[in-house]
């Protein structure tokens, strides 16, 4: 999704994975994609732009036809069915998770760490960058936890939906991007 946020970083990571990347700016662009990344940025702004250009309806329709969607940070907020605090975010309400916006604090509280991403023997240690990051405060019964930080859920998957509250695109590690490519 190329309307606001960390678009260039995701573009670079997917290109390193050997993919031909399409920058989705308008409804017609959905014809060319099998997966969509909603990047980090400002969730209220992205939500308003999705609604203004009717991209929200196009995303939901394409998802119902099988398109995989990954939301990073603000994108995870937009995927969530529930947002803890009363906000003006126009979300997609697709993923059975509840999120808490800016749960790790303000911009000045941003940090980098290492986490384990994945399930069981497929789990890998990867770097994670948190920038005004949300937390996934609860999940539905069909949602799998893929990563935690200090016992808080920071990555989850429900079918063709992936949410990460951190920014894998801000590192040189491609594990989460490769995981999403397999989902597509």
- Active site residues per annotation: 73, 167, 169
Which structure tokens are listed for 36? 């969509």
User: Who's near 122: CB < 8 A, 6+ residues apart?
Assistant: none
Which structure tokens are listed for 77? 């907020």
Q: Where are the beta strands (DSSP E) in 15-59?
A: 35-38
Q: What is the DSSP letter of 119?
A: S
**Cα within 13 Å of Cα(96), Cβ side:** 10
């Amino acid at each position: 999704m190329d309307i606001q946020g960390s678009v260039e970083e995701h573009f670079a990571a997917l290109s390193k994975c050997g993919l031909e990347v399409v920058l989705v700016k308008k409804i017609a662009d959905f014809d060319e994609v099998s997966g969509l990344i909603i990047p980090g940025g400002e969730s209220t702004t992205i939500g308003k732009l999705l609604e203004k250009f009717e991209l929200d309806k196009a995303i939901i329709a394409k998802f119902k036809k099988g398109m995989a969607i990954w939301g990073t940070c603000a994108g995870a907020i937009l995927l969530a069915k529930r947002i803890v605090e009363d906000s003006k975010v126009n979300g997609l309400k697709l993923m059975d998770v509840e999120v808490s916006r800016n749960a790790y604090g303000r911009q000045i509280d941003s940090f980098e760490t290492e986490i384990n991403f994945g399930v069981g023997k497929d789990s890998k240690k990867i770097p994670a960058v948190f920038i005004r990051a949300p937390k996934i405060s609860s999940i539905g019964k069909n949602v799998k936890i893929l990563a935690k930080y200090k016992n808080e859920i920071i990555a989850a998957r429900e079918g063709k939906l992936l949410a990460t509250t951190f920014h894998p695109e801000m590192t040189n590690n491609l594990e989460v991007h490769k995981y999403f490519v397999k989902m597509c």
